[in-house]
A and B are shown apart, each in its own frame.
Chain A
Amino acid sequence: MDPQVIIIGAGIAGLTAAGALAEKGHHVLILEKEAQPGGHVAQWDRLFPSRRPGSEVLDHIRKIMDGRVEIKPGIRINGIIAHDQDFTVLTEEGTSYTGQALLIASGFRLFQAERKEEYGYGIYDNVITSAEVETVFKQGKKLLTSKGTLPQRVALIHCVGSRDEKVGNLYCSKVCCVTGVKQAIEIKEQLPQCEVFSFYMDMRMYDRHFEELYFEAQKQWGVQFIRGRLSECSEAPDQSLIIKTEDTLTGRPLRMIVDLVILLVGFVPEPETGKLVEMLGLSTGEDGFILPSDEHYNDNLTTVPGVFLAGAVKGPATISNTIADARAAALQIDSWLKTKP
């Protein structure tokens, strides 16, 4: 039997929407490019602001949909044909799936930090990304330098690949500020003797409990915040790193030797999603993320009837935002299927 709804992407947006649609009695199929569902959250250890394990949230979402939704992993889409009443998705393997509605929930990709060459990622072993920090924590390991020693001083660098005309990303990725604060606290939890510095342009603590987390980092954990953007990073002979920034509040250039540099990488559009955009004739903003048909009251709809959007395909989003958005998309799809002639 053909599914009624095909969802592209089995991250939290796709899984949440699938669960909500299944509860309404729709037959849902999820196509996922990776071998395992769960998206980025599956790679993440704990979530801001409460620092609960990411697996808790993911397990909850999966519990709703398990047994009611079919997931096809390892799928590469190479064509979508829009008919009058339905859509046919063609895969590289030669299979095809037809559904009456299509939900694009294919998410985002993390900024490739190598592109910011002067920061030294991929060149110096002790420059790592926030995603790698999560992997270390998730594996229950200690955060160590490339030599296997405990870092005495760590620098967290905000806005890597975000708010940066030089890499073509003018937008703010929204979640890196609070992720940086969360990771700073987690590092202090794990390594109390380690000095943790945060280099920021602006601290954007816009959502509920974010500011409190920032305050906690200062009050309880002694995380130090320096207002200045990293300009260059170089390696000392002992593989520690020399970072150059301006301490803008004293108005003087600042050099610091640190054992580990953590780059808080932002969101960029997933290139695979770009192909879907072309196949369906959707439009994107200058930032490369997909534009909904109306940013306020139709933000799960696209200009193509029957094609819906959920989550970070529309730009950087937190997990709670994404879940709410996916449920809203499910409602929209449900009513669209019901009013369909």
Chain B
Amino acid sequence: MINFNFFVLPFTLGLIYVFLAVGKSWYRWIAALPAIDKVKLTNGLKHPGKIAAALREIFLESLIHRKMWKQNPLLGYMHMSFALGWFLLIILGNIESRYYSGTHLNAPYYPIFLKFFIHDKLVLFFEVYSVPFLFRFFMDFLLIFILSGLVLAFLKRKQSKWFGMKKTTSHHFTDRVAITTLWLIFPMRLLAESYTAGYYGNGGGFMTQPLGNFLVSLTPLPSDFVAYTMWWCYSLVLGIFFVMLPYSRYMHIPTEILLIFFRHCGIQPKKWYSSFSETEVQSCSRCGVCLDDCPMIAAGIQDSQAVYFISGVRDRYVPEEISQKCLVCGRCQEVCPVGISTDSLRLIKRREITSGQASDFRYLTNGHSGKGDVVYFSGCMTHLTPTIILAMKGILTRAGIDFIHLDADGSVCCGRPLMIAGKDRQANELIEFNKTLIRQTQARMLVTSCPICYRVFREEYNLPIRIQHHSQFLLNLIKTGKIPLQGHFSKVAYHDPCDLGRGTKTYEAPRELIGKVADLVNVREEREKAHCCGGSLGMFEASNSQRNLMTKAALDILVENQPETIATSCPLCKKTLGRHASMAVKDIAELVYEAIPRE
């Protein structure tokens, strides 16, 4: 039996090409890793547990597409049918070809075009229950599985709404070629196998055989010629797809596998563009899930979302405006099926733009602070919401806490607003200044009212004392019985500030705290999925009217269950939402303070 025909060449050459190209990329990325990351990678690969965890994640995310399922079941099914279906087809095809060839070593094209090379000349009745039947059955089944995904993919182009997507991404030329060939692969396989089965009158499965018989009866041309042409077409689309893959969005498939290994070995995003960033960028599938979940969509901004930003990074040109046109709210990061750290990629770009800008904070001469058990840092913004300061000072006094209000006469900024503009180096001067001041107080705990400060205190300050946002601190005061509560609010909706929620994963403390003084109503999109209020300091390139639209969109969701009060835990959110809300917007510290019986 000669298991070769010229038509297998496009596929075979394409396959060799894609292996070489992907291998080269993998090698390049691994070689370019910073030394510390290389150590992490080699250590990680010696660890069977980590490899198993990585393989598990690859199975769940790359094949099952778990996060896509969570996003939208149709979208999840579509991706799963392609990835898992194709994967199983390859596995089963290999086993099947071993059965027929009797050897483990087959040419790589052999399982792919198996039906061309073998066909059961005779089907005996006992074969119905035998191995070939089972293979035929499952191979046809998998083909249907994939084709159903293809139908969905086609529908998605026309009706993206059904897939929970209002916006889909627009694509480059190579992407178009790749997607066209990808979509053609399985219909071609179907036609090739069906015509072959029809020509021989046997060898097909429950779908390919009747379809083949039917097609042969329809076609005026000699059916062996048609079948042979179809095999050529099948091989050609496969070959073209493989050659285009490294230059198209489908490169994300092999890259994501590497990325998952990187992550499981403990490699993390850096402050500068590293090889890890490059694998993240190349892992972006351009699926566009981040578009619909971006709060900027409400303001009609649709050119700077993560997918477009990353696409610019990939092509090594991102206009400054695009880098700066982002709330850095982190919502896209939560929904990204690949888990790309979109915010840190954005900040890396911003550092490239602004890190060289000079600043001079020598005017900050070391003032001296008093001493206290707890140091309260209200934050710059909180000075514009004096009720929060008043409430905090009132509660602290009432609880009998020895505290010092560090920035009573104006704050030295915590540094995060500079960092979010890409000016980490400049921020460090402020951080060092504040650290000295905080140390001088000899306090055992730092409490702040501002989530922006809270996040940077935790991430960058390395203070040897406890750091809490006031939501956590007040909750603790209530739990330990330090403050009496009497009043009770009805129907409060809670707005998660980005830096407190997604930024530091503080979701429960504020809710538990509100629960002590009010009836918390549900908000449709909350916690990880909470909308940015629109006031974010991360945004530079939005006009006021655009910000207003984002605020209104966030408010619309907050008021769905008719709350009487909107609570938040950030002075900036409070001010921003308060501008447009038709009901009171209060900080949780205010709620607590109002619930304390007056002496």
Does chain A bind chain B?
Answer: yes
User: Chain A, 202-233, contact with B by CB distance < 8 Å: what is the 0/1 string?
Assistant: 00000000000000000000000000000011
User: B residues within 8 A CB of A165?
Assistant: 544
Question: Which of B383, B386, B544, B580 gathers most chain A CB within 10 Å?
Answer: B386
- Whole-angstrom CA separation of A165 from B385 in the bound complex: 17
User: Chain B, 546-578, contact with A by CB distance < 8 Å: what is the 0/1 string?
Assistant: 000000000000000000000000000001001
Cβ contact of A118, chosen from B386, B390, B544, B580, cutoff 8 A: B386
* Secondary structure class of chain B's binding surface, majority of residues: helix
Contact A232 B387 (CB under 8 A): no
Cβ contact of B384, chosen from A115, A117, A167, A168, cutoff 8 A: A117
Contact A167 B387 (CB under 8 A): no
User: Chain B, 347-389, contact with A by CB distance < 8 Å: what is the 0/1 string?
Assistant: 0000000000000000000000000000000000001111100
- Nearest CB in chain A: distance from B263 CB, A: 43
Q: Is B505 an interface residue (CB 8 A)?
A: no
Q: Is B579 an interface residue (CB 8 A)?
A: yes
User: Chain A, 97-136, contact with B by CB distance < 8 Å: what is the 0/1 string?
Assistant: 0000000000000000001011010010000000000000
Contact B386 A115 (CB under 8 A): no
Closest to B390 in A: A123
Taking residues whose C-beta sits less than 8 angstroms from the other chain, chain B's interface range is 10 to 19
| Count of A-B residue pairs with CB < 8 Å | 26
User: B residues within 8 A CB of A123?
Assistant: 386-387, 390
Cβ contact of B579, chosen from A118, A120, A168, A233, cutoff 8 A: A168
- Nearest CB in chain A: distance from B408 CB, A: 9
User: B residues within 8 A CB of A283?
Assistant: none
Q: Is A60 an interface residue (CB 8 A)?
A: no
Contact B386 A117 (CB under 8 A): yes
Q: Is A141 an interface residue (CB 8 A)?
A: no
Q: Is A166 an interface residue (CB 8 A)?
A: yes
- Whole-angstrom CA separation of A234 from B383 in the bound complex: 9
Interface residues of A in 132-173 (CB under 8 A from B): 165-168
Contact B385 A167 (CB under 8 A): no
User: A residues within 8 A CB of B544?
Assistant: 165
User: A residues within 8 A CB of B575?
Assistant: 117
Contact B578 A232 (CB under 8 A): no
Closest to B580 in A: A168
- Whole-angstrom CA separation of A167 from B578 in the bound complex: 9
Contact B579 A167 (CB under 8 A): yes
Contact B385 A117 (CB under 8 A): yes
Closest to B383 in A: A232
Contact B385 A118 (CB under 8 A): yes
Interface residues of B in 429-466 (CB under 8 A from A): none
- Whole-angstrom CA separation of A180 from B544 in the bound complex: 30
Contact A232 B579 (CB under 8 A): no
Contact B387 A117 (CB under 8 A): yes
Closest to A231 in B: B384
- Whole-angstrom CA separation of A48 from B384 in the bound complex: 34
- Nearest CB in chain B: distance from A43 CB, A: 26
Binding site for A on B (CB under 8 A): 383-387, 390, 544, 575, 578-580
14 of the cross-chain contacts (CB-CB < 8 Å) are A115-B578, A117-B384, A117-B386, A118-B383, A118-B386, A120-B386, A123-B387, A123-B390, A166-B579, A167-B579, A168-B580, A232-B383, A232-B386, A234-B386
Pairs of residues from A and B, 7 with the lowest C-beta to C-beta distance, nearest first? A118-B384, A117-B385, A123-B386, A123-B387, A120-B386, A232-B383, A123-B390
